[in-house]
Amino acid sequence: MAVLLVKKPEKPRVRLRTGWYHSSYDKAKIGGQKKMAWWYLAAAIFCEVVATHALKATQGMGKWGAVSLVVLGYGAAFYFLSLALRQLPLALAYAVWCGAGIVLVAMVAWWWYGEALSAQGILGIGLICTGIAVLKCASVS
């Protein structure tokens, strides 16, 4: 008695920057990972802003509670940034991280600490936001 073994045909494979994928399920999975990368980047930005404002509260590294918040905040920010870099291009992720961090730190300092924002400062914040938008539109993904 003869047994006929039939091999399943392989699905077509397509090469991406992030690796090989096989099917529409994999495409959806990659799209979901890309969305998750943006959430990781948002978490990195949030942690950086919190740590930066905690840095002001340390009063020259004299308050250990604030110092620990600074260390944990920056550690978490770099961790989330590293997770985002799995899917996002380095130039785009770093520009968004830095630019959004600068804008949010300036806005929170204005709102929370009452620090003044001059017309040049507001113009600079607008230019940073415009630069991030242009870089995002120009990025190949």
Average pLDDT over residues 98-116: 92
What's the mean pLDDT when you consider all of the chain?
83
Q: What is the CA radius of gyration of the chain?
A: 22
In the predicted structure, residue 102 carries a pLDDT above the cut 80: yes
> Of residues 30 and 118, which shows the higher confidence score?
118
- Return the SS3 of 139: coil
In the predicted structure, residue 67 carries a pLDDT above the cut 80: yes
- Cβ neighbours for 43, distance < 8 A, ≥ 6 positions apart: 76, 80
pTM for the full model?
A: 0.73
Average pLDDT over residues 63-67: 89
Q: Is 7 exposed, middle or buried (0-12, 13-18, 19+ CB in 10 A)?
A: exposed
Q: Is 73 exposed, middle or buried (0-12, 13-18, 19+ CB in 10 A)?
A: buried
Binning pLDDT at 50, 70 and 90, where does residue 9 land? low
Helices (H), ranges, the chain: 24-57, 64-84, 90-112, 119-138
Q: Give the tens place of pLDDT for each residue, 15-56.
A: 555 555 544 445 545 567 788 999 999 999 999 999 999 998
Q: What is the pLDDT of residue 39?
A: 95
**Pairwise CA distance, residues 20 & 30, whole Å:** 10
> Of residues 26 and 70, which shows the higher confidence score?
70
